[in-house]
Structure 1
Amino acid sequence: MIWAGRILTGLFALFILGASVAPKLLQLPIAEETMAQLGWPAGYAFMIGIIELALLVLYLIPRTSILGAVLFMGLFGGAMATQIRAESPLFSHILFSIYLGLFMWGGLWLRDARLRELFPIRRK
């Protein structure tokens, strides 16, 4: 169970780094173009990339992983609100933050016994 959680956590971290943080921190044109399409003013992508990187570090450190996950959910909520405002497709864009959140919490739940005690799966 712990190894499955570590694998899910690693996959989540690699996805966030490669698909979200790196393009923003490297100031790739696609990051700014995407942000502009969603209605964000120029220059916000870099700061959001820094925030995402900080939250990822918090999530990956065992002592702060739950705090990182909670803060990530706040970021995902903002991303979802942005997609709703931009009238993006429901299942592929708006709910994508929910998919990421479930993946992130699933990895944390599998690797953290404290979280499993807090949210147990009940069997009859």
Structure 2
Amino acid sequence: MENIAYAGNISGKSLWVGRILSGIFILFMIFDGGIKLVPLDIVIQTSAEIGLPTTVAFARGLGILGLVCTALYAWPRTSILGAILLTGYLGGAILTQLRIGNPLFTHLFFGVYLGLIMWGGLYLRDRRLRALIPFN
């Protein structure tokens, strides 16, 4: 049994909603990292449009970074570290969209939406995070 500060019981419903939200986020990040590892033509084209380097090495580097952080998030012992690292990763995506002036709700806030799904899923399934940030 881990030494975790008491954060109340996690109901079965909260646990499963958290797992589902986290699963959706993880699947999206696996897809995102996968298309950058190949990389698909759309990745290189989009990189050019948003002013990022258009090399295969750059795309693969982003893909590897995203997948490593996602793996940390998916593994329960390192999930909070993974969420912190992914928050930085998503923040970079948000800044890139802001810098080029893309639409607010569809492009700029997409990283915010993903971050809310990621942290919400983790909060609902992880007793340690509930102990750290108690919403009473």
Q: How far has the Cα of 1:94 moved from its partner?
A: 0.8
Aligned counterparts, 1:1-124, within 5 A: 1-18=14-31, 20-43=32-55, 44-122=58-136
The TM-score normalised by the length of structure 1 is 0.94
Residue identity (%)? 50
Moved over 3 A (4+): none
The one-letter code matched in structure 1 to 2:72 is L
* More RCO (CA 8 Å, sep 6+): 2
For structure 1, the 5+ residue unaligned runs are none
The TM-score normalised by the length of structure 2 is 0.86
For structure 2, the 5+ residue unaligned runs are 1-13
Which has more radius of gyration? 2
The one-letter code matched in structure 2 to 1:4 is V
The one-letter code matched in structure 2 to 1:46 is R
